[in-house]
Amino acid sequence: MSKILLIDDEIMITSTLSTLIEMMLDYEVITFNNPKTLIESGILESGKIDLVISDFIMPYMNGLDLLSLIKEKQPHIVPILLTGYSDKESAIKSINDLGLYYYLEKPWDNHELIKVIQNGIEKGKLENELSQKLVVIEKKNQEISRLYDLLRRDFDKEMGNVLEFIVSLTNLVEAKDAYTDNHTRRVSDLALALGVRKSLSQEQLRYVEIGAMIHDIGKVSTPESILNKPGALTPEEFEIMKNHPEAGARIIRPISALQKPSEMVLSHHEKLDGSGYPNGLKADEISVETRIITISDIFDALYTDRPYRKGMPLEKALNILKSDAENGKLDQELVGFLLEMADSGELQKIYGE
């Protein structure tokens, strides 16, 4: 049963009101005629009061001070002020200051009084339910972030194992392909630097790094005679060479942690205008992570020495990327970042210059 606290220094008022409320509503009414007795009674600490109706002018403490004290102790209690006409202004002011639910003027209208009490009790109940629900939600949130942290830790651990595995895979390709010597490390450093300039998230950067390290993993299936052939490939040899992205993606795909990098492995020879291979993807079909790897790969291939030819001068290599970007093959913004890196010397640093 809801409990109502009634306080007024006039005994006539408390007895009339409590009789009225108990008659009209199924609530228990507790009355006091002095704020001091109320405070000393300890009832405010019991947590059992749902609504309080307080007189304004009383000995020892006025109604506003009493209601704010009650609010401090038990914020869930719905406060109603009962005022004389002359106190009306301070009552209105306290609606905001105190979070007063309602003020009633003496002499009150019985009908209005009962309605206000009923609504006030209802409001209190709803607010209580809401705050209980909020507590439950907050607990659930904490549980979710705890589980997320656990998953994250598992994922990081798995990623650590996967990275070790990746390093040994890249060693495998590098052992076979004379040119790849350190190519994967440089492409990976370059791709990471471009990713940072592109403001990728930590997670994206991690995948870019892995994708770059393993982008040519499929070359384990390319015959050494083609891989290490000095000079240009015949059209037939080039067709065989073009199988390496799909072969690489096939090798990586079974590892669930490498789903995203496997897409980069598959598409690192695609071009924005659809002229690349193996699927002739266009623009939006190629992720930003893949575009970064493609640009890093092309630049490194042009700039560094191969078994059968010297690398190009920096300016010439950059010009090729620039015109590929202008012709719609490479991402303009990313190539722009590469040019900025050359201007600032960051690019040369990756090459130990």
Interface with Fe ion by CB under 5 A: which residues?
216
The residue among 14 and 267 lying less far from Fe ion, judged by its C-beta, is: 267
**Whole-number minimum distance, CB 166 to Fe ion, in Å?**
16
**Shortest spacing between CB 293 and Fe ion, in angstroms:** 9
Q: Is 79 helix (H, G, I), strand (E, B) or coil?
A: strand
Where in the chain does DSSP place strands (E)? 3-7, 28-32, 51-55, 78-83, 102-105
The upper half-sphere exposure of residue 132, i.e. CA atoms within 13 Å in the direction of its Cβ, equals 7
Half-sphere exposure of 67 (CA within 13 A, CB side): 30
Instruction: State in angstroms the smallest separation of the CB of 346 from Fe ion.
Output: 24
Least distance to Fe ion from the beta carbon of 307, Å? 16
Nearer to Fe ion, 63 or 245 (CB): 245
- Strands of the sheet with 51-55, listed across from one edge: 28-32, 3-7, 51-55, 78-83, 102-105
Residue 52 or 317: which CB sits closer to Fe ion? 317
CB 244 → Fe ion: shortest distance, Å?
Answer: 6
Residue 133 CA to chain centroid, in angstroms? 23
Kindly tell me which of 91 and 293 has the beta carbon lying closer to Fe ion. 293
Nearest residue to the partner Fe ion, using Cβ: 216
CB 300, min distance to Fe ion, A: 11
Residue 67 vs 293, nearer CB to Fe ion: 293
Query: Which CB sits closer to Fe ion, 21 or 212?
Result: 212
Burial class (CB in 10 A: 0-12, 13-18, 19+), 212: buried
Alpha helices in 268-328 (DSSP H): 288-303, 314-326
Residue 19, Cβ density class (10 Å: 0-12 exposed, 13-18 middle, ≥19 buried): exposed
CB of 269 to Fe ion, least distance (A): 6
* Residue 6 vs 244, nearer CB to Fe ion: 244
Question: 3-class DSSP state for residue 54?
Answer: strand
Measured CA to CA, the distance from residue 231 to residue 309 in angstroms comes to 8
Which of 49, 102, 24 has its CA nearest to residue 32?
49
- 313: DSSP letter: P
